[in-house]
Amino acid sequence: MTDPVVDLELDCRGLLCPLPVIELGKRYAEVPVGGVVAVLADDVAARTDIPAWCRMRGQDYLGEDPTGRYLVRRVGP
Amino acid sequence: MRSAASYLDTASSEPLHPAARETLLAAYDRGYADPRRLHGPGRDARLLLDNARAVVAECLGVRPDEVTFTSSGTEAVHRGLLGLRRGPGPVAHTAVEHSAVVHAATWAGAALELPVDRLGRVDPATAPSDASVVAVQSANHEVGTLQPVAEVPAGVPLFVDACASMGRLPLPDRWDALAGSAHKWGGPAGVGVLLVRKGARWLNPFPGDDRIDERASGFENVPAALAAAAALRAVVEEREEVNARQHALVDLVRTRVAAEVPDVEVVGDPVDRLPHLVTFSCLYVDGETLVTELDRRGYGVASGSACTASTLTPSRVLEAMGVLTHGNVRVSLTRDTTAATVEGFLEALPGVVRDIRTQVGL
């Protein structure tokens, strides 16, 4: 796939779980529906918890981009 | 002393069964001698040890000569798994095995993880035919999901970690070696049970010893083995009633947590599961804070979240299932946990979660 355009990057490096997901939960609505949020996180739990957040909150998890950012597409409120 | 009434972590360790307490005290007076000696006290100790073995065999539906007492469930896992290994092939294990299995497989230098689905269930067909041994737990210790042990392909040695289910549920039909742990069913700590199937090819993976049972090493803990057997007999006799009661209380937790706590994921198989435990994860909630706040209200629960683990990494079980790892709580009921305790917990939980979320601005 071609890398989607990122509308918002959240730099969560150095933050321990659940802080990266809290940051995502607080700020994802800053992008319009259809927009993409990239989360930069080095806490190992983010790899599981960001896809789980997307499933629980009804958003789209797009995977990791080549630089290791977790990409989330906002598809709903 | 802390009240045990709201201790909800029996999957870590069940309080000593009254039947075990009586037996333990009596056995300390009679079972102190070396059971290999030919004098009276030695013969007494030997009698008690043989009795313990016979009771465990009867409760589990196996032969007495298939039963070995070890110094812990972990030791039974290590001996059972590694002793079955045939050849240099991988030590295949489900991704949700207890750390005792994972450590043994890693130590053997050939660990191979078999993936699980969202419920934590393995597909046994994924076990490679060149595996030197396959390890599949009877039931998962963190989320309760029962594993399809019977579907493991024949022809590869099969090790079953039954620590989470022994006493509570009948053993699976298929195993070459199997492990249990007495303190998980209400026996004393320091007693593991290793079963090695008659005729199975099992070689001691560790230095031998000159004790009564060639599969074990070290001086036998005769009183504790006898107390473990007494607890096992009591638990097996009671389990129909206890399991039904626990299963219904866990159903209540599953239903009410999902309905009354927003943004929560109740995990594991809702039906095909251990009777006494349930796990859920709360979005945006720090696991350590959650456990601490519940403890302040008198509820002792476990958590698989990273900050509550000894390793600073989240639970491998939750990770392998792909479910939320933070804000995790495991509730496991003792044999006498009452409906009132469970309802009290369910009343307290939503407020605790709400307060923690409010503190982080969500």
DSSP conformation letters of B101-141: HHHHHHHHT-EEEEPB-TTS-B-GGGS-TT-SEEE--SB-T
Instruction: Using CB atoms, pick whichever of B306, B327, B362 lies closest to residue A26.
Output: B362
Q: B150, exposed or middle or buried, with CB in 10 Å at 0-12, 13-18, 19+? A: exposed
- Quote the pLDDT of residue B310: 58
Mean pLDDT (chain A) is 94
Is A44 within 8 Å of B263 when comparing Cβ atoms? no
In sequence order, the 6+-apart residues with CB closer than 8 A to the CB of B15 are: B4, B7, B186, B334
pLDDT digit string (tens) for A17-71?
899 999 999 999 999 999 999 999 999 999 999 999 999 999 999 999 999 999 9
Which value does ipTM take for this structure?
Answer: 0.95
**B289 reaches A (C-beta below 8 A):** no
* Dihedral over alpha carbons B220, B221, B224, B228 (to 10 degrees): -20
pLDDT digit string (tens) for B251-265?
999 999 999 999 999
- Residue reference for tokens 């000696």: B37
Confidence of residue B189 (pLDDT cuts 50, 70, 90): very high
- Residue range B332-349: average pLDDT? 97
Is A48 within 8 Å of B314 when comparing Cβ atoms? yes
DSSP class of residue B343? Answer: H
CATH 3.90.1150.10 boundaries in chain B: 240-359
Which residues of chain B lie closer than 8 angstroms to A26, CB-CB? 361-362
Which sign, positive or negative, has the C-alpha torsion B348, B146, B326, B302? positive
Q: A40, exposed or middle or buried, with CB in 10 Å at 0-12, 13-18, 19+? A: middle
Confidence of residue B95 (pLDDT cuts 50, 70, 90): very high
Catalytic residues of A: 17
Is A22 within 8 Å of B314 when comparing Cβ atoms? no
How far is CA B227 from each of CA B14, B41, B183, rounded to the nearest angstrom? Answer: 14, 18, 10
* Selected residue of B263, B279, B291, B324 to mutate for chain A interface (largest A Cβ count, 10 A): B324
Confidence of residue B1 (pLDDT cuts 50, 70, 90): very low
Q: What residue ranges define each of the domains in chain A, with the CATH number in brackets? A: 8-73 (3.30.110.40)
pLDDT digit string (tens) for B9-21?
999 999 999 999 9
Point out which residues pair with B193 in neighbouring strands. B69, B180
Percent of chain B with pLDDT over 90: 94
- Quote the pLDDT of residue B3: 55
Is B306 within 8 Å of A52 when comparing Cβ atoms? no
Which residues of chain B lie closer than 8 angstroms to A44, CB-CB? 306, 313-314
The answer to whether A17 touches A39, Cβ cutoff 8 Å, is no
**B284 reaches A (C-beta below 8 A):** yes
CATH 3.40.640.10 boundaries in chain B: 18-235
Q: How many CB pairs under 8 A join A and B?
A: 62
What fold does the segment set B240-359 form as a domain?
A: Aspartate Aminotransferase, domain 1 (3.90.1150)
Q: For residue B253, what is the enclosing H or E element?
A: helix B222-260
pLDDT digit string (tens) for B192-225?
999 999 999 999 999 999 999 999 999 999 999 9
B18-235 maps to which CATH number?
3.40.640.10
**B353 reaches A (C-beta below 8 A):** no
- Quote the pLDDT of residue B237: 98
Q: How many CB atoms sit inside 10 A of residue B214's CB?
A: 11
Q: How many Å lie between the alpha carbon of B173 and the closest alpha carbon of chain A?
A: 35
